[in-house]
């Protein structure tokens, strides 16, 4: 019997942000002593689930997406529940309160969530302090995003400086280039902007692999064109971020909150994330893919891995199905020996090959820069 599903109706009567705060408070209690949670939930590591991606060996390919542990407060606790990695953040240079409340909406009929948080976080310095004060027992990704109210060039420069300050605290860096809830962020998916950003990051000469996170609204053709231009500048890709409202996906939603502005996550975006994963894996088999978007069951995770993903993130499925979901997925993947059956390139396992030499940073055409600054593509933002 799944006790969480029995009490979920009562939990879902609480405001989602209040509910998250309660959960976070509980998980923080065990961040220094995660073995207590591991004993309570009887989680275990499975030897046949270990995967190596860009020189990093993960105890499980299943992790938690950015946005759940925004403040780097309970990553070890999530690892104790079965996560092979936790992506913290997104983090910006300065503390940001985000958009005004109410800003999270559950869509239970659709097994989805719409959020318009607006990249609320503690900022680089406070996040660094949290990471420094609690040694990690799980692999950590650090999601970096630009601050509010910046033009294109300032977003690039700020993110590069932030990475310089925080990269050593994580196992990999994730670039949030697709958050629909803060003006300007989706501009970072445009080829000239993404190229300049990645070139500047290359010239930092960090050892941690860099993953680019792109939005659910991008078509397969757009994605493949983008990767043809900048794929050699990144170490991996995350597919996908939330879907903007409106999008074709929203037309089939049933829940009362379906028209709320913000990013849609959960079951409705699974198929689009899957189609992009298949297209990218077929065209770029040496590029590691971190699947994100609508994983609710062990079978969902298996499908994503077999479609070409090397790693899989969960978020909304974790909220709907509770703290045992990670262990359920791990147990299923282990029992079916799924990892052993994957046919992935050996280049996915290899350490990133980064030249010690600086590369030329490409300028963005002045007219194009003005156009990008004027139209960010954000589906929800507040000035």
Other beta carbons within 10 Å of 137: 17
Q: How far is residue 99's CA from residue 152's CA, in Å, rounded to a whole number?
A: 21
10-residue mean pLDDT profile of the chain (383 residues): values are 76 91 95 96 96 98 98 98 98 96 96 96 98 97 95 95 98 96 91 96 97 96 97 97 90 94 96 98 98 98 98 97 96 98 93 92 82 60 57
pLDDT of residue 246: 80
- pTM for the model stands at 0.96
H-state helical runs in 147-269: 152-166, 191-202, 220-230
- Per-position DSSP letters for 45-114, written without gaps between them: --GGG-EEETTEEES-SEEE-TTSSTTSSSHHHHHHTT-SEEEEEEE-SS-B--SPSP-EEEEGGGTEEE
């Amino acid at each position: 019997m799944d006790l969480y599903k029995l009490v979920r109706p009562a939990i879902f009567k609480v405001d989602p942000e209040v509910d998250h705060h309660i959960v976070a408070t509980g998980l923080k209690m065990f961040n220094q002593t995660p073995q207590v949670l591991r004993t309570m939930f009887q989680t275990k590591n499975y030897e046949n689930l270990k995967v190596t991606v860009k020189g990093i060996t993960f105890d499980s390919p299943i992790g938690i997406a950015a946005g759940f542990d925004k403040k780097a407060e309970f990553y070890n606790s999530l690892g104790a529940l079965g996560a092979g990695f936790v992506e913290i953040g997104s983090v910006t240079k300065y503390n940001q309160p985000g958009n005004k409340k109410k800003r999270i909406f559950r869509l239970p009929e659709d097994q989805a969530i719409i959020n318009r948080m607006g990249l609320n976080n503690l900022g680089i310095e406070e996040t660094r302090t949290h990471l420094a004060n609690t040694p990690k027992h799980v692999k950590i990704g650090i999601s970096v995003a630009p601050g509010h109210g910046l033009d294109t060039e300032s977003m690039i420069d700020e993110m590069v400086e932030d990475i310089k300050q925080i990269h050593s605290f994580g196992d990999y860096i994730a670039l949030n280039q697709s958050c629909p809830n803060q003006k300007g962020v989706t501009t970072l998916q445009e080829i000239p902007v993404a190229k300049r950003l990645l070139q500047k990051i290359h010239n930092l000469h960090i050892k941690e692999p860099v993953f680019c996170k792109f939005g659910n609204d991008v078509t397969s053709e757009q994605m493949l064109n983008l990767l043809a231009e900048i794929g050699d500048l990144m170490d991996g890709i995350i597919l996908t971020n939330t879907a903007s409202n409106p999008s074709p996906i929203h037309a089939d939603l049933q829940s009362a909150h379906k028209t709320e502005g913000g990013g849609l996550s959960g079951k409705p975006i699974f198929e689009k994330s899957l189609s992009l994963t298949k297209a990218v894996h077929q065209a770029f088999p040496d590029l590691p893919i971190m699947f994100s978007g609508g994983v609710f069951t062990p079978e969902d995770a298996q499908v994503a891995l077999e479609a070409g993903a090397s790693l899989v993130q969960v978020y909304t499925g974790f909220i709907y199905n509770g703290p045992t979901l990670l262990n359920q997925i791990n147990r299923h993947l282990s029992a079916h020996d799924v990892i052993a059956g994957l046919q992935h390139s050996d280049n996915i396992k290899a350490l990133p090959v980064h030249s010690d030499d600086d590369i030329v940073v490409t300028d963005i055409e002045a007219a194009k820069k003005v156009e990008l600054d004027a139209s960010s593509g954000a589906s929800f933002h507040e000035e």
